[in-house]
Chains A and B, each alone.
Chain A
Amino acid sequence: MINPRVDRATPVIVQGISGRAGRLHSRLMREYGTNIVGGVSPKMEAREVNGIPLFPDCRSAVEATGATASVALVGAMQLLGAISEAVAAGIRHIVTPTEGAPVHDALKARHLVREAGAVWIGASTPGMAVPGEAKLGFLPDDSLKPGTLGIMSKSGTLSYEAGYRLVRKGIGQSVWVGVGGDPVKGTRFADLVPFFAADGRTAALLIIGEIGGHEEEDFAAALTAHRFEKPVFALIAGRTAPEGIAMGHAGALTHGSHGTFESKRAALAAAGVPVFSSLGEMVEGVCGRLR
């Protein structure tokens, strides 16, 4: 079972910490409560960033700090190398916000992560969080609050908006995983069905999907196969998007009847999942059921 849960004790390193994003987000993650124990910076132009000790590679960082998780803030063409290095160093949980990674690199990365039995979340994701414990990535604090709703999302901004509106109605999250908008990724909606089914701190599940691919359809099939009994809600973007054009995310592309809103709505409805077509309806639907 893929278990994405982390807590305030989980020791985390940041790969690419000396870049612009690395400096900013290592500080923000630590301010949130994440146990950032080190950073990887191959050039080693300094000994620390924001008081976080730097290491030239993952292996030395893991040996010195005992880190088990990593957030890799690296460029698209460096992603495969970063994942490969982290897994080889013994990292068990890797989160990669990187946008624009080549799909064939993602295929290779997924293969080696699975071989190692590690957890990879991403790419093209704001990351994940266990509110009140730790966040790996940059989900906005305004949208996070400890609670019992599990969230999985392909889209960053749409999930920020959804989380923000639900938080203002008093509904917080147990575990929030941005699975990301790429077609090939480390963790898909369906992969986390067993985890959310077994997780005692999750009472219900919200998935935020979008057109393209089969991920929502596969998720619906997994719910049925696992006899998932908790309430599940879905919000899907792109109902009116034009065919054959990628809408921002590389994966958000329909052709013919493939990847369409209707295909996803029908599969989810057959698994007993209501699909909302606006944020307002989603908030009403979730609140009506959970409060």
Chain B
Amino acid sequence: MYLLEHDAKELLARHGIPIPAGCLVESVSALDRAALPAGPWVVKGQVALGGRGKAGLVRKADSIEQVAAYVKSILGTPIRGRHAGAVRIEQNAGPAEEAYIGLLLDAAAGAVRVIMSEHGGVDIEALPREALLTATAPAEIQALCSCVRRLAASVTIARRAALLDAGERLARVFLEREALLIEINPLFVRADGTWIAGDAKVVTDDNALPRQPAVRALLQSRAAAYPETALKLEHGFDYVVVDPAGEIGLLTTGAGLSMMLIDELRAAGLRPYNFLDIRTGGLRGEITRLVNVLDWIAKGERVRVLLVNIFAGITDLGEFSQLLVSALRKTPQFRLPVVARLVGNGLPAAREVLVKAGIGLHTELDEALADVQRHLAARAHIVGGPR
């Protein structure tokens, strides 16, 4: 889970990382002067995307009126199709020298990579290679700290103590919270050698949530900011609305095949509504997951057809089809035509069940897509009728 800056900073602060005083505001009307830290301020849009500064989502403000104006404009400015759901207003920690430190998972090395630079505040990719100090170490505290010390030894004396201290503290957080990435950029180094995190990026491991109560608590208290992870934690599978104005609901299993199907639908000029990896192996004879998914897809205002695509090596398609038909009966609010494409064991039984329920069954994906397009074309002529 890619934490929003505000949550990343508050998590780091609990581990003793110095951060500027700040607060989270979700609307202009919720802006409370008494809750603000002392000025001057930086107003920062909270969206899990890079390049916020360039997109105008980070603004310096000297007066409360300016803060209010920036809160309003930032909350109303889309960035690459997404909106910041909140802003963090914090005390401007500058002016100070800017450095960089990052710890991240190096999947190829099977280790943790530490990156340090005397220069920060810009995209680390933009720095020349010789400005970066980097090395890998096993995911173990002594090895990581000694890696940090080795790198810091090459840092100019004015910033060495700050980067050394930051590196050792972050190494502990990285291991204790099972992070995949922690980056502080810029890391402000003051004239007296003390430091503070200007920005913070933290990616945590969703798979470790069962044994990371602090991260789990954060997620649960801020579920609206992380809908996909919250949903997975509660329901045990993945569902993402990829296009709120999408017209095709997808009932699919398998992350790769579901992503590929979305790519192919879009390439054909169609608009899929959601990504889903329902994990047929996890249904265990229950309709709960299917009922939930049908209910969520029914909320898509422009969804006009449901495409079921299951390529299951093991799943008994007869049993799956029974569950699907039962789930459809349990969700009367779901009144869309259904096109099914199934491959695997138990196809004859599946055919019998689906035909009886009036659902078209295909074994070739291309045929199913043609059927989907027929439904979209036919329903385009119905104006004002029930969806």
Residues of A within 8 A of B (CB): 21, 24-25, 28, 76-77, 100-104, 107-108, 110-111, 114, 126, 138-143, 153-161, 164, 181, 183-185, 188, 190, 208, 210-211, 213-215, 218, 235, 237-253, 255-257, 277-280
**What A residues does B253 contact at CB under 8 A?**
157
Given A208-B256, A246-B206, A248-B275, A280 contacting B313 (CB threshold 8 A): no
DSSP class of B's interface residues: helix, strand, loop or mixed?
mixed
Q: Are the C-beta atoms of A161 and B205 separated by less than 8 Å?
A: no
Given A103-B205, A278-B263, A188 contacting B175 (CB threshold 8 A): no
Q: Are the C-beta atoms of B180 and A183 separated by less than 8 Å?
A: yes
Q: How far is the CA of A25 from the CA of B257 in the complex (A)?
A: 22
Q: Are the C-beta atoms of A250 and B207 separated by less than 8 Å?
A: yes
**What B residues does A155 contact at CB under 8 A?**
254-257, 259
Q: With an 8 A cutoff between CB atoms, is B218 at the interface?
A: no
Q: With an 8 A cutoff between CB atoms, is B48 at the interface?
A: yes
Total contacting residues, chain B, CB less than 8 A: 57
**What A residues does B311 contact at CB under 8 A?**
157, 160-161, 164
Residues of B within 8 A of A (CB): 1-2, 48-51, 80-82, 105, 107-108, 110-112, 125, 138-139, 175, 178, 180, 203, 205-208, 210-211, 228-229, 238, 240, 242, 253-260, 262-264, 266-267, 275, 277, 281, 311-314, 343-344, 365-366
Q: Nearest CB to that of A235 among chain B residues?
A: B260
Given A210-B259, A279-B365, A102 contacting B107 (CB threshold 8 A): no
Given A104-B139, A107-B111, A164 contacting B207 (CB threshold 8 A): no
In the complex, 16 of the A-B residue pairs with CB atoms within 8 angstroms, ordered by the A residue number, are A100-B207, A101-B207, A103-B178, A114-B110, A153-B256, A154-B256, A164-B343, A208-B256, A242-B81, A243-B80, A244-B2, A246-B238, A248-B275, A255-B2, A256-B49, A279-B260
Q: How far is the CA of A139 from the CA of B208 in the complex (A)?
A: 27
Q: Are the C-beta atoms of A158 and B178 separated by less than 8 Å?
A: no
Given A77-B211, A108-B139, A278-B267, A243 contacting B49 (CB threshold 8 A): yes
Residue in B1, B180, B207, B258 whose CB lies within 8 Å of A248:
B258
Q: How far is the CA of A144 from the CA of B242 in the complex (A)?
A: 33
Q: Are the C-beta atoms of B180 and A103 separated by less than 8 Å?
A: yes
Q: Nearest CB to that of A243 among chain B residues?
A: B49
**What B residues does A215 contact at CB under 8 A?**
107-108
**What B residues does A257 contact at CB under 8 A?**
125
Q: How far is the CA of A257 from the CA of B242 in the complex (A)?
A: 19
Beyond contacts A142-B343, A245-B48: 11 other A-B pairs, Cβ-Cβ < 8 A, are A103-B178, A103-B205, A107-B138, A156-B254, A158-B260, A184-B107, A185-B107, A208-B256, A215-B107, A241-B275, A253-B2
- Looking at A141, A247, A257, the one whose CB has the most chain B CB atoms below 10 A away is A247
Residue in A154, A185, A245 whose CB lies within 8 Å of B240:
A245
- Looking at A25, A214, A245, the one whose CB has the most chain B CB atoms below 10 A away is A245
Q: How far is the CA of A161 from the CA of B206 in the complex (A)?
A: 28
Q: Nearest CB to that of A214 among chain B residues?
A: B108
Q: How far is the CA of A184 from the CA of B175 in the complex (A)?
A: 15
Q: Are the C-beta atoms of A140 and B178 separated by less than 8 Å?
A: no
Q: Nearest CB to that of B180 among chain A residues?
A: A103
